[in-house]
Amino acid sequence: MKKSIAEIAALVGGTVAGNGQKLIGDIRPIEEAGADDLTFVSNPKYFKWLKTTLAGAILVPPGTAAPGKNLIAVADPYAAFGKLLAVFYPVDHGPAGISPAAFIEEGASVSPEATVMPRAFISRGARVEKGVVLYPGVFIGRDASVGEDSVLYANVSVYARSVIGRRVILHSGVVIGGDGFGFSAPGSQNKKIPQVGIVQIDDDVELGANTTVDRATLGKTWIGRNVKIDNLVQVAHNVVIGENSAIAAQTGISGSTKIGKSVIIGGQVGIVGHITIGDSVMIGASSGIHKSIPAGMVGGGTPFLPFREWLKVEVSKTKLPEIRAKMEKLIRRVEELEAIISKTREGEP
């Protein structure tokens, strides 16, 4: 595929400075791009590459100058770069249709415009809408539903009555609707509490490989519109995650916690149950969250601290060996002084 710089600018709403008729055939990193390639720069610390890159066209922020280069000025070069990647590298799921090697129980509703690959299993009462792609090994449980244009990659499991919205992407190994971790007398009798609720995943959500979302005890575990979750994340029963939130890998969210809209959570964060994380909160990686956080707060650590306090604590950790050595020295000096005072009191010279 080749497109002129002018065509590319039109796709992303950009303004051309240079030769708009030049053809571009690929997208490459700025240090590797050649004369027929497009690249981008958005962070000022990488502007130095503008002088040396051989790229045929460069996505840049408005007001950027680079004499002799073909520039496409856009408000957000990184977002434009992502949009163009989808244009130059479209995902091909193969032709629509239902493989004869798929297993569909009587009473399931599957659109003829869906793509159902070999070894997918669709249970009685399940509904699969048009444009859905089910890769090999996908399991759709009874009375579950998958909305239009959603893609479920190999070996995704969607348990009974789960609700998957439109344009949802579930990567390999995702499990939706497994039982929540509910037991009475934990640590002794461990009597199972039946988990009879559902999982609801709204439109445009993407879940990374091997992420798990447990069904609610009662009611629903709910992931809001346009939430993006990385690989290996655990979402427990009755958790609610507000729209546009983003959660990095290896985070664990305990039961009945409510996470607001546009929340950003770093990797390896642990969150206890039955608390509330307010809208637009940002939590640093490897934090431990033990109580509710008000909206708009930025920070991290265990326990969670506001950003500046957290930085002070982290800086102090690096000085602990030095502080310990000084403390030991001070303790020895105090012991020496106490010995001198004791001898003086006893009348010794």
Which residues are known to be catalytic? 237
Select from 71, 33, 72 the least CA-distant residue to 52: 33
What distances in angstroms separate CA 344 from CA 63, 298, 341, 349, one per listed residue?
Answer: 78, 56, 5, 7
| Token couple for 75 | 């408000």
**3-state SS string for 168-198:** CEECCCCEEEECCCCEECCCCCCEECCCCCE
* Residues contacting residue 272 through CB under 8 Å, at least 6 positions apart: 254, 257, 289, 290, 291
Q: How many CA atoms lie within 13 A of 344 on its CB side?
A: 6
Distance, in Å, from the CA atom of 140 to the CA atom of 102, rounded to the nearest integer, reads 12
Residue 59 and residue 226: Cα distance in Å, rounded? 26
Distance CA 245, CA 231 (A): 15
Q: Tokens 């102090």 — which residue?
A: 316
For residues 122 and 141, the answer to whether their CB atoms sit within 8 Å is no
Count Cβ atoms below 10 Å from residue 132 Cβ, excluding itself.
27
Paired strand residues for 289: 271
The CA-based diameter of the chain, rounded to the nearest angstrom, is: 104
309 contacts 292 by C-beta, under 8 angstroms? no
What does the DSSP 8-state code read for residue 274? Answer: S
